[in-house]
Amino acid sequence: MTDYRAALLEWAKTQVGPGDRAAYWRSAFGSDPGSELAWCGVFCLAGLHAIGLAQDVRWHLGLGFVGPAGLKQTKTPERGDIGYVAEPYQHHFLYDHTDDKGLIHSIDGNQPDVRERTRRSDQVTCFYSIAGLIPLPEAGFLRGEKYSVSGIQDKPGGDDERTS
């Protein structure tokens, strides 16, 4: 099974340096609207696309992608979640980890390049979880195991049956 969170950060680390703003826009928006527009959130969405997530999600000018993608806020971010700083520039970044001093480590686009950053937690407005974009395991049911899915259990003959 793919560790999407690790894959996202591995991809982001390969982008550190000048980055490819136009390619991020093409992935997230469908075209490159020009160099005047900030691309921090576009970088995050392009990263999700690069690892096979949120393929049907596109950037919406004025809205971004977090809301249209239905990402929920979280107070306990995991690697690969989207961080957001409201002031002064409404900046998005990929969360990596929080160190033992409470500093948040991230990978940020539009800085003006792609950079690994460290910031204090009081600088971050909120985090959005990518958990809802990650597919559930495709392993399915294994015979003879107990599951938390109420009302379904194995019949001795091998066909599932619904119980009342």
Each residue of 28-75: pLDDT tens digit? Answer: 999 999 888 999 999 999 999 999 999 999 999 888 999 999 999 999
Q: What are the structural domain ranges in the chain?
A: 4-137
Structure tokens at 89: 């520039």
Residue 164 has pLDDT above 70, yes or no: no
CB 164 within 8 A of CB 153: no
Q: Which pLDDT belongs to residue 104?
A: 98
User: Alpha carbon of 45 to those of 32, 40, 164: distances in Å?
Assistant: 14, 9, 44
CA angle 68, 74, 76 (to 5 degrees): 150
- What is the topology classification, in CATH, of domain 4-137? endopeptidase fold (from Nostoc punctiforme) (3.90.1720)
pTM, two decimal places? 0.82
Segment 2-13, tens digit of pLDDT: 799 999 999 999
Segment 90-119, tens digit of pLDDT: 999 999 999 999 999 999 999 889 999 999
